[in-house]
Chains A and B, each alone.
Chain A
Amino acid sequence: MNSVILRVGTRYLAGLLLVFSFYMMLRGHNEPGGGFIGGLTGATGFVLYAIACGTQDARAALRVMPQTIAIWGLGIALAAGLFAALFGDALFTGQWLFIGATEDDKGLPLSSVLVFDIGVYLVVFGSILTLVFAMEEEI
Chain B
Amino acid sequence: MAGGFATDTRGNGLTGIVPVLFAAALFAWFASMVPTIAATEVIRLTIPWIPSLGIELAFLVDGLSLTFSLLISGIGTLVLLYSNTYLAGHPQYARFALFLTAFMVSMLGLVLADDLILLFVFWELTTLTSYMLIGFSHETEKSRRNALQALFVTGAGGLAFLAGLILLAAASGTTSISGIIAQGSALKEHAMYLPILILLLAGTFTKSAQVPFHFWLPNAMAAPTPVSAFLHSATMVKAGVYVMARMHPAMSGTDVWLWTLTIFGAVTAVFASLLALRQTDLKQALAYTTLMALGTLTLFLGQESGYAMTAFATFLIVHSLYKASLFLVVGCIDLSTGTRETDQLGGLGRIMPITAIAAALAALSMAGFPPFLGFIGKELKYAGAIAVASEPLFVAGAALLSNALMLAVAGVVAFRPFWQGAVPSGQSPREAPWQMWAGPIILASLGAVFGIYPDLLQVALINPTVISLTGEVGEAKELKLWAGINIPLFLSIATFVLGLLFYWRHVQLRAMLERGFQSIPNLDKGWDSFLDGLKGFAKWQTQLVQNGKLSSFLFGTFLTIAAGILLTLLYTGMPMIAVDLSDVEWKHTSIALLTIAGALLALVTNSRIAGIAALGVVGIGIALIFIVFSAPDVAITQLLVETLIVVLVAVVMLRLPSMPKAEFRLNHAVLSIAVGVAVSLTLIAVVSSPLDLRLTEYFEVTSWPEAYGRNIVNVILVDFRALDTFGEIAVVVIAALSAYALLRTTRKGDQK
Contacts and interface: CB of A to CB of B under 8 A. Distances in A.
B729 A37 contact: no
Given A44-B643, A117-B718, A124-B732, A135 B652 contact: yes
Given A116-B718, A128-B644, A136-B651, A94 B736 contact: no
A136 B651 CA distance: 7
Contacts of A109: 708
Contacts, number: 139
A135 B743 contact: yes
Contacts of B732: 70, 123-124, 127
Nearest to B634: A32
Nearest to A73: B729
Interface string B628-665: 00001100110011011001100110010000000000
A77 interface: yes
A104 interface: no
B636 A32 contact: yes
A41 interface: yes
A8 to B, nearest CB: 20
Interface string A114-139: 00110110011011101110111011
B707 A134 contact: no
A67 B707 contact: no
How many of chain B's residues touch chain A, expressed as a range? 35 or more
Contact of B723 (A28, A91, A111, A134): A91
B545 interface: no
Given A28-B711, A34-B717, A113-B718, A134 B739 contact: yes
A139 B708 contact: no
B744 A134 contact: yes
A78 B726 contact: yes
A23 interface: no
B633 A33 contact: yes
A85 to B, nearest CB: 13
B708 A29 contact: yes
Contacts of A30: 709-711
Nearest to A74: B733
A21 B715 CA distance: 18
Contacts of B655: 139
Interface string A3-36: 0000000000000000000000000111111111
B36 interface: no
**Most chain B CB inside 10 Å of its own CB: which residue of A81, A94, A109:** A94
A58 interface: no
Where chain B touches its partner, the secondary structure class is: helix
B719 A113 contact: yes
Interface residues of A, number: 49
B688 interface: no
A131 B648 contact: yes
B714 interface: yes
A131 B740 contact: yes
A125 to B, nearest CB: 10
A32 B707 CA distance: 16
A71 B725 CA distance: 15
A31 B712 CA distance: 9
B737 interface: yes
Given A32-B632, A77-B726, A139-B652, A130 B707 contact: no
B740 A130 contact: yes
Interface string A92-107: 1010100000000010
A32 B740 contact: no
Contact of A47 (B647, B711, B723): B647
Contacts of A71: 733
B742 to A, nearest CB: 9
Interface centre among B641, B707, B733, B746 (most CB of A within 10 A): B733
Interface in A36-86: 36-37, 40-41, 43-44, 47, 51, 67, 70-71, 73-74, 77-78, 81
Contacts of A135: 648, 651-652, 743
A106 B740 contact: no
Contact of A29 (B632, B714, B730, B735): B714
A96 B707 CA distance: 9
Contacts of A132: 644, 647-648, 651
Nearest to B655: A139
A111 B722 CA distance: 13
A41 B717 CA distance: 18
Given A44-B644, A111-B708, A123-B732, A67 B714 contact: no
A139 B643 CA distance: 20
B648 A92 contact: no
Q: Which of A33, A51, A128, A135 has the most C-beta atoms of chain B within 10 angstroms of its own C-beta? A: A135
Given A36-B717, A70-B737, A94-B719, 18 more contacts: A30-B709, A33-B636, A34-B714, A37-B636, A37-B637, A37-B640, A40-B640, A44-B644, A92-B726, A94-B707, A113-B718, A119-B729, A120-B717, A131-B739, A131-B740, A132-B648, A132-B651, A138-B746
14 contacts: A33-B711, A35-B717, A37-B637, A67-B740, A73-B729, A92-B723, A113-B722, A116-B726, A120-B718, A127-B733, A127-B735, A130-B736, A132-B647, A139-B743
Interface of B: 632-633, 636-637, 640-641, 643-644, 647-648, 651-652, 655, 707-711, 713-715, 717-719, 722-723, 725-726, 729-730, 732-733, 735-737, 739-740, 743-744, 746-747
Closest 7 CB pairs of A and B: A127-B736, A92-B722, A40-B640, A32-B632, A34-B714, A29-B709, A30-B710
